[in-house]
Structure 1
Amino acid sequence: MSGIVSRLVHDKERGEILDGSRRYLLMRPDVLMGMLQRLDDTARVRALSAFAGSACEQGGDSIRAYAKDATGQDLLDVVSETSAGLGWGRWQFEVEGDRLRLTVRNSPFAWGYGVSSCPVCAPVAGIFRSVATEWLGAPAVAAEVECGAMSSGQDCKFVAYREVP
């Protein structure tokens, strides 16, 4: 066993799960996403945006740590393996010139939310933005362009590219 799963330390005495200094939490996705279902549309959009921003910022710490040992395709492979190991679905990256595409099969966020009229995988978009920023070597923009919650459980698709100043 390698990757994130073998690195996680379950400290039952302290009640925490760690990968080095980074703390993780096991939580059912329907519990987390059910909170968003209870918000009105305006509050939900704001919460999803904040969720993406926080995932980019906080998750970016992990991505930068991975980037110390892996760059280019190796970084994308590490992120794919780590995402699967943490239950974030199966991630597949595709390089398209100076754009990066991501397909997520079995997103826990789409699954946990259920049927939606808008994309709900904001944490994935946030992490993907930090991955794209490392991969491109410049600030990036990332967006979910298809969400499984909007299409009866299909894959979620994202695109990222350099941020235009």
Structure 2
Amino acid sequence: MSACRLFLLGLLLPVLSSCTGLEIKPLLGQTLQLPASDFGPESLSAPLLGANAGQKTVVVYLGLSEKQIEARHPSSQFCHVPVVKGIQHLNRNVAGLPRDPAHAELRSRLITTRSRLMDYYDTRRIAFNSVPPFTGRGFMSRRAMMPPLGTTR
């Protein structure tokens, strides 16, 4: 009997020791930091980031208050942008750009930035809405809680 217990313990120890490195990171506390140049030239990004934001880093956030963002990233060094406003701003700018070779590089950069923001938004949206059907949120319309954002591709 004791040999069987030792054998089972020998099997369980590697499994249990492999679980010690698990670190759970909260989704809503994370931010995305991008250079201001990813939002286009100052003439396009000024309505979202403000004037003279070219040297600042843009902090994109979701699920945090402005006070929490200000405590982590002071306004003197960072521009704070909610992810939904950032995506909507980029959608308008991409749709408004002419489709000619002169604007191809700028269009590509704005679309890449929008894709990064969409991935950031969708990661949090999917994690928030992925619940078993037997919990309280599971029976609600998931689209009504955090609707997906359209793109202009």
TM-score (norm: length of structure 2): 0.30
Higher relative contact order (CA 8 A, sep 6+): 1
Which structure features the higher share of helix residues? Answer: 2
More strand by share: 1
Q: Which has the larger radius of gyration?
A: 2
